[in-house]
Amino acid sequence: MLIRDTTLHFGIISILLHWSMTLLIIGLFTLGYYMVGLDYYHPWYHAAPWWHKSFGLVLLGLLFVRSLWRANNLKPAPLPNHSSWERSLASLTHYLLYILLYSLCISGYLIATAKGSGVELFSLLEVPALFPEMDDQKDFAGKLHKYFAYTLAAFVVLHTAGALKHHLFDRDETLMRMLKTQPDNNHRRKP
């Protein structure tokens, strides 16, 4: 089992970070979409934001670790059958995913700290409010958070479509490199 990434394959650390963040992003988007429609008397009105903020902080932590890991690790090269436009689009999509994730986490933090109080992480610790309260901070950050979330969702769909295209139509190892650390001895080939 590979721990670190190589120029050919992702290691277990990258794979675990990728899929745990994937689950968190899907869960946070779903919960966020659900909770904005709750009225004050709904039993989840206070609980849903608490969970959303805590898991949002977990996502930010994993994003930071993943950024450091990626910066200090080799990156698997695109497969030889990938055209130049696919490589460019994949690279741009990956960078935009990182930018959107950081923007989403920062805007969420600004919403949560708009009244000057910190953000609880599962009642274990509190991340303090680092910035002085600004006029309309919650509303402005809330609009940004919403737009970042929907834009991120669109890029996740694009990223997923690209992975599925490589797996189902090109029949190459692109998706499998993010599912296991070692290739099969018999690589997939076009029929």
DSSP 190: -
Residues whose CB is less than 8 angstroms from the CB of residue 190 and which lie 6 or more positions away in sequence, other chains included: 170, 171
Q: Is the dihedral of CA 6, 94, 154, 54 positive or negative?
A: positive
Instruction: Please give the chain's pLDDT, 191 residues, in tens.
Output: 889 998 888 999 999 999 999 999 999 999 999 999 999 999 999 999 999 999 999 999 999 999 999 999 888 888 888 899 998 998 999 999 999 999 999 999 999 999 889 999 999 999 999 887 788 999 999 999 999 999 999 999 999 999 999 999 999 988 998 998 776 544 444 44
pLDDT score at 75: 84
Contact at 8 Å (CB) between 120 and 54? yes
Q: Please tell me the distance from the alpha carbon of residue 118 to that of residue 137, in angstroms, as a whole number.
A: 14
